Amino acid sequence: MTAKDIHAGGDAQESARTQRADQPDALLEDVEPSPASYFQVNVHAAVLLLVDHLRDLDGAPDLRTVLNNYPFLTGYLDAIMPFLPPGVTWQQAHRWWARRIAAWEHPDRTALALCRLGAALSLSDVARAQLLLAGLAEEDSRFGQIFADLNGGLSRRPTFETLTAVGGHLDAGEALRGALLLIDRAVLTVTHRDGPRSEWVLSTSAELWDQIRGDAPPRPDHRPVTLLPKLADLVVDDTVVARCRRVADRWTEFDLITLRGAAGSDRLTLAAAIAQAAGKGLLTVDAAELASGRWDGVGALAAALDAVPVVELDLAPGDTATVPRPAGLPGPIVVVLGGTGGVDRRGHDRAVSLELPALDAAGRARRWRQALGPAPVDDIDGIAAACRLQGAHIDRVARSAISLATIDGAPAVRLDHVRAAADELQHQLLDTLATKLEVTGSWDDVVVGDFTAVKLTELHARCQHRDVLAASMGPAYGVGTQVGVRALFTGPSGTGKTLAARVLGNQLGLDVYRVDLAAIINKYVGETEKNLHRILTTAEELDVMLLIDEGDSLLGRRTEVRSANDRFANLETNYLLQRLEHYRGIIVITTNAADHIDSAFQRRMDVVVAFTPPTQAERAGIWRLHLPDNHQVPESLITELAHRCTMTGGQIRNAVLHATLLALGENRPVTARHLDQAIAGEYQKAGASSPYDPSGRQCSVSRARSFQQVIA
């Protein structure tokens, strides 16, 4: 018998008895178990409930009126009838259908979204049917007209009253509890909440419905457990792995897991491996969604996917993020963040914290080998020593380095390929925060006094051995000895501070980025600290050398608090003091006003290098370094200029540049005449007369103000 026969007339139950055999025409167990077929079985069970409700409202024992009003239901009933046993009543049909679905759900078929959702939220048969009813309009728009007729045109989706009434054909009390549970667990969303509860309009989210249907394409933000890495495959300290295993073993005992690690590290990979060890997939949630309506449905979506939601936060010092627990989430939330900021734990009574430490040289070598895979590599230990990147950044740079080696036709990946690939990563992450400086030259290019040269050599050694320094110290230093290097260069303008920083970067094989203080300092409260945090954290992750020119504007002395401005200025100083103390990279701060710097900063500096104006011999060396190879300036004149013109290295550099431009204009080498004109121009800029007079008047230094006297 078909629904068309019923439509033609007659009693449904009597016709079933006389025209059906003793057994159903088809067995539910014969249906191929797939997400799509399982969804259709449950949808047809919900349709049967809805048809029964419509028949009951009509008050007639048959379906003629219902099928006259909604002819499309004929197709649904035709699909259902072959499975129903003969002589079954409407109430028996609903119970029979629920039992057959339960029997069909043996253990190897429970890896279906609807099964997982029902098990995680303890949904009853009635609640599951109500969920499918709420989504019928998503599946077939013609159901929208039925719901509009049932709720008086209020909406083309079911109302709370409709769901409880339809579910009541199975169990009236359970129908009320089921509808409330689906709302409480954010499985169903509510509109018209301001009106009476009976008029609440209920619907499912499109994301959840797509998973329930079983034919949704793979989600880019979801990885099933089978695609997640294992803890044993990660390059992570053994103690960290052991702690993560214990957390995975006691997964259900937690409702919040915080995992700290640098943004360029394997922190997200570690979160995925912990989920894998717990037998869960991973659902990555954008931090912006914490304050959106989508967050309410993350719990149900995660339950349907059998995944743990992971939120990655970038918090500045002092920031506290609120991560509310999604309704219906059966397990913990994993929050991944850096070394600063925190998570408000209200609502998370059972929380645990994990930390991913930075890789040492040996760990980086293993991680580079893992990232480069089967590609041949030239000196993997040298690459690990020169590039102190962490896990996630190593993966990105390794892929680019392999491509560059292929383009070059090189037999193996070399350090220069890795550095070129790292440069591209730095451009992406740092160009909007700082300016890259050219790093060239050697210490021979830095003409300074003996004491300054000794301090620069000390600084170079400190930077070279920062990886192994902590392990070489005595027990009193403990494990807290930092691998970061903080240096302060003091001295008048033009004495070689910036040049020394660039040469240091070149000798260490590191790129040097200069911070633009104008882009960092902000008049709004807290913004300066956030800008500093962003650039310091990024430079730390990329292992570049950071140069803060004229740093006295940031490192100024704290003052007595007499106004709100004083208070906030002191807060900026305090933040920078704390951040520098824990900085893991190399940072050089220059200033020509050392007296204005807070003494607490000088105490936190690993090396303080004082640059002084050059002596006569040093000035002669600077002149020789800067003059072109083909110059025609006598050596005696260089000696005389070094004696008479007490210029700084920066002024000598500018003077030679000016003289070279003059010579180019005449298409001839640099001569004494060009230098004379250039030197006079430098002194004129400072409001002084040049002590060098080639006309023969022999103006002595005592009769002319020296350049240093002018700028003092």
> How much is the average pLDDT of 308-332?
87
pLDDT at 465: 84
pLDDT (0 to 100) of residue 700: 41
Check: CATH 3.40.50.300 for 443-610?
yes
CATH classification for the domain delimited by 616-711, as one of 3.90.1150.10, 3.40.1010.20, 1.10.760.10, 1.10.8.60: 1.10.8.60
Residue 15 has pLDDT above 60, yes or no: no
Q: Looking at residues 352-365, what average pLDDT do you find?
A: 91
pLDDT at 685 over 90: no
Q: Can you tell me the mean pLDDT for 133-143?
A: 92
Q: Is the pLDDT of residue 409 over 80?
A: yes
* Class of residue 74 by CB neighbours under 10 A (exposed 0-12, middle 13-18, buried 19+): middle
Coil, helix or strand for 186?
Answer: coil
What is the Cα–Cα distance from 146 to 134, expressed in whole angstroms? Answer: 12
Distance CA 205, CA 301 (A): 9
* Edge-to-edge strand list for the sheet holding 351-355: 222-223, 281-285, 307-312, 333-337, 256-260, 351-355
- CA dist 204 → 207, 334, 390, 540 (Å): 8, 25, 42, 45
Predicted pLDDT at 326: 87
Which pTM value belongs to this model? 0.81
Do the first three CATH levels of 222-355 and 443-610 match, i.e. the same topology?
A: yes
What are the beta bridge partners of residue 334? 257, 310
pLDDT 10s digits, 571-593: 566 677 777 777 888 999 888 87
- Domain ranges in the chain? 3-213, 222-355, 361-425, 443-610, 616-711
Kindly tell me if the per-residue pLDDT of 624 is higher than 50. yes
Kindly state the tokens that stand for 103: 């029997």
Task: Give the best-scoring range by mean pLDDT among 319-323, 531-535, 695-699.
Answer: 319-323
Residue type, 563: S
- Which is more confident, 555 or 149? 149
Give 436-462 pLDDT, tens digit per residue.
898 888 898 888 888 999 999 999 999
In the chain, % of residues over pLDDT 70: 84
Pair of tokens at residue 593: 């006003």
> Which pLDDT score, from 0 to 100, does residue 567 have?
47
Taken as a whole, the chain contains a residue count of 712
Q: Which two tokens stand for residue 172?
A: 């009236």
Going by CATH, does the domain composed of 222-355 fall within 3.10.450? no
pLDDT at 354: 94
What one-letter code names the amino acid at 658? H
For residues 230-249, average pLDDT: 94
Residue 610 three-state SS: strand
Q: How large a percentage of the chain has pLDDT more than 90?
A: 36
pLDDT per residue as tens digits for the range 455-484: 999 999 998 888 777 666 666 555 544 678
pLDDT tens, 513-556? 998 776 677 666 667 777 888 888 888 888 899 998 877 666 65
Confidence of residue 81 (pLDDT cuts 50, 70, 90): confident
Q: What is the pLDDT of residue 18?
A: 36
Give me the CATH topology for the region 361-425. Answer: Helicase, Ruva Protein; domain 3 (1.10.8)
Mean pLDDT across 8-14: 40
545 CB-side CA count, 13 A: 29
Report d(CA 398, CA 393) in Å as an integer: 8
Quick one: pLDDT at residue 457?
Answer: 93
**More confident call, 700 vs 167:** 167
Q: What is the pLDDT of residue 470?
A: 65
Residue 650 is predicted with a pLDDT of 87
> Whole-angstrom Cα distance, residue 702 to residue 688?
13
Tokens found for residue 383 = 């690459």
Question: Mean pLDDT, the chain, as a whole number?
Answer: 83
DSSP alpha helix (H) spans, 105-196: 113-121, 125-134, 136-139, 142-150, 160-167, 172-184
